[in-house]
Structure 1
């Protein structure tokens, strides 16, 4: 529950969690819903998230920073070569999961513009570059 500048209560979204909690959730999702070898999140839910939505329908929304993307069940699917997907807040908060690089990035942010499109041109390539770097390290 939040209130606006006039004191009007609003309930409609948001998640109160620590950075560590978000990273643990991201790791559980990366591990196909398993935590300590216990299926804490149903595999069917993980599969649904990873499948994503319909990119053709998503393209009509004209999210230019996610040209191959889709959206489903509160998750943004990049449909890139690493099958990455993310949960995102409008001020830059992100839980980015890259299954190929076995990487979870959690970012807290408070960008003054409530639109991911202003962060995407720098953050998405940075996440991809980090994933590529991690994959190179595994190959040595």
Structure 2
């Protein structure tokens, strides 16, 4: 049984004696490898980050996102976050969001964290994400040659300096700073890993950016 099966709010099967909720599950996860040695994407790391943020702020990640980001950036729809049986939000995924609001988030990245003259988060945050991580430690992703990952964002190291927030089955917020373009994609591709659709989707995003830049 995976993280979702152990922590989802639905009743557990008869005889289940595993962890009750996300935090109990996270406390049982053992490390693999050494920190800083190599990049390997694990959703559990995002959930652990959410736990740390929640403990430091003494608020749930859902409440923080609402107060610090969603409301200030002018989202037009409520967002919903999956919770465990104790009501703890799942920071590693399970978000239900509106398409245009995700585009607003992408535009906020283009605008270095500012909206209507108000700085929602520091421009240095965007600059760090745009700079990417260490490509030398980014192995196992042949569809993103020379790419990297940092601060929950994927950097493609292409000619436009594009980066993206990506979910399973093709969900994407693609940010192209050079073209000042944001593409949001809702998808339900049968394969969860984005590597299966990168060979078609990434060139398509670049083609749209090139077209928009050619119109100037």
* Deviation readout 1:26-53 (Å, 9 max, x if unpaired): 0011111110121112112111111110
Runs of 4+ off more than 6 Å: none
Q: 2:134 — aligned with what?
A: 54
TM-score (norm 2): 0.59
User: Higher relative CO (CA 8 A, sep ≥ 6), structure 1 or 2?
Assistant: 1
Partner-residue secondary structure (3-state), 1:129: helix
Q: 1:102 — aligned with what?
A: 180
* Pairing 1:70–2:143 present: no
Structure 1 spans left out of the alignment, 5+ residues = none
Answer 1 or 2: which has greater strand percent.
Answer: 1
Partner-residue secondary structure (3-state), 1:76: strand
> Offset at 1:125?
0.3
Q: 2:207 — aligned with what?
A: 129
* Deviation readout 1:52-91 (Å, 9 max, x if unpaired): 1001111xx2201000100011100011110000000021
Larger radius of gyration: 2
> Offset at 1:16?
2.4
Question: Aligned equivalents of 2:111 and 2:105: distance in 1?
Answer: 10
TM-score (norm 1): 0.89
Question: More displaced, 112-121 or 8-17?
Answer: 8-17
Q: How many residues align?
A: 135
CA RMSD of aligned residues (A): 2.0
Structure 2 spans left out of the alignment, 5+ residues = 13-20, 22-83, 85-89
